[in-house]
Amino acid sequence: MRQKIVAGNWKMNKTLDEAKALTSEVLQLVNAEVKGKAIVVLGVPFPYLVSLKDQLGSSSIKLSAQNSSQHDWGAYTGEVSALMLKSVGIPYVILGHSERRQYFGEDGKLLATKVDKALAAQLTPIFCCGEPLEIREAGTHEALVTKQVEEALFHLSAEALQKTVIAYEPVWAIGTGKTASSQQAQDMHAVIRKHIASKYGNDVASTISILYGGSVKADNAKELFSCPDVDGGLVGGASLKAREFVDIVKAIG
Ligand code: PGA
């Protein structure tokens, strides 16, 4: 089932008290104002997952980690595995964010393993792809993004792929205030979906949720979300403000 999803990516921000306050504000606003069927996800730092899960209780808001290991258990100091996340009841994990690719050297081969581990632990990976500015300017963005998708996901069975969410995030739009136009977003989402269809067929491709990320704000969300191949958003900076984030959720209808 292709689902509408709005996921916040808090990155490395907030103390525990601030995280609880933001969660409580988001929860209140979602309960009071959100009538649509979009899934709302908060991608929060590891140390806050368990406490925020308790705080959210039976609410419809879901939690996501921002990374997980390519290993299950063992002597990997500082790592957190998908099985650990599963054991504390976390349903989503963001994988392959451009900041992980850029600062922590994550590549397609590693991400394919991380995706496998997440799926084996029954988590939903939110797999990120997207081109840097120089690639966009060189006009090779479609080739790069389809390669990123292929490297990390095309070894999966159709059934496994359908349990994965994709987020297209042009690197030049992340945290820059310079969002892709809705036409640029739609074009790339259609390219990704077509590429998936070329391997898995249209029926499978049409069930995959593809989110747009990169300077999504309350004032541009409606236009982005109205594109036929944009199934929601992965929201960084604007997810740190409850009012703005919930307005983005409402923009999906
Ligand atoms: P941004 O970040 O909304 O602040 O541009 C998006 C992301 O990095 O996921």
- Residue 179 is given by DSSP the state P
Q: How many domains does the chain have?
A: 1
pLDDT number for residue 149: 98
> Does 237 contact ligand 1 (Cβ within 6 A)?
yes
Please identify, by atom number, the ligand 1 atom nearest to the C-alpha of residue 214.
5
In the 8-state DSSP scheme, what is residue 181? P
Please tell me what DSSP assigns to residue 94. E
pLDDT value for 36: 84
Residue among 143, 183, 148, 198 at smallest CA distance from 168: 148
Distance CA 62, CA 59 (A): 8
214 lines ligand 1 (CB under 6 A): yes
Ligand 1 center to residue 13 CA distance, Å?
13
| Ligand 1 pocket, residue 175 CB under 6 Å | yes
9 C-alpha to ligand 1 centroid (Å) = 7
User: What are 167-205's pLDDT values in tens digits?
Assistant: 999 999 998 888 889 999 999 999 999 999 999 999 999
- Residue 213 pLDDT class (50, 70, 90 cuts): very high
Residue 149: exposure state from Cβ atoms within 10 A (0-12, 13-18, ≥19): buried
Instruction: Find the domain containing 149 and state its range.
Output: 5-251
| Atom 6 of ligand 1, residue of closest alpha carbon | 236
| Verdict on whether the full-model pTM lies above 0.85 | yes
Q: 97: domain CATH number? A: 3.20.20.70
Residue 178 C-alpha to ligand 1 middle, in angstroms? 11
Active site (annotated) includes residue 97: yes
The mean pLDDT value for 81-107 works out to 98
Ligand 1, atom nearest to 94 Cα: 9
Residue whose Cα lies nearest atom 2 of ligand 1: it is 236
Task: Tell which atom from ligand 1 comes closest to the C-alpha of 238.
Answer: 3
Angle, helices 218-225/242-251, rounded to nearest 10 degrees: 20
Ligand 1 centre from 237 Cα, in Å?
6
Q: Is the CB of 64 under 6 A from ligand 1?
A: no
Tens of pLDDT, residues 37-81: 899 999 999 999 999 999 999 999 999 999 999 999 999 999 999
Q: In this structure, which residue's CA is closest to atom 3 in ligand 1?
A: 236
- Give 2's contacts (C-beta < 8 A, 6+ positions apart): 206, 207, 208, 209, 231
Instruction: State in Å, rounded, how far the first CA of the chain is from the last one.
Output: 18
Q: Which helix (H) or strand (E) holds 167?
A: strand 165-168
Element counts in the chain: helices (H) and strands (E): 12, 8
Length of the chain: 253
Q: For ligand 1, is residue 234 a contact (CB within 6 Å)?
A: yes
| Gap from CA of 240 to ligand 1 centroid (Å) | 11
> Is residue 1 scored above 80 in pLDDT?
no
Active site residue 33: no
* Gap between the Cα atoms of 253 and 249, Å rounded: 8
What pLDDT was estimated at residue 179? 86
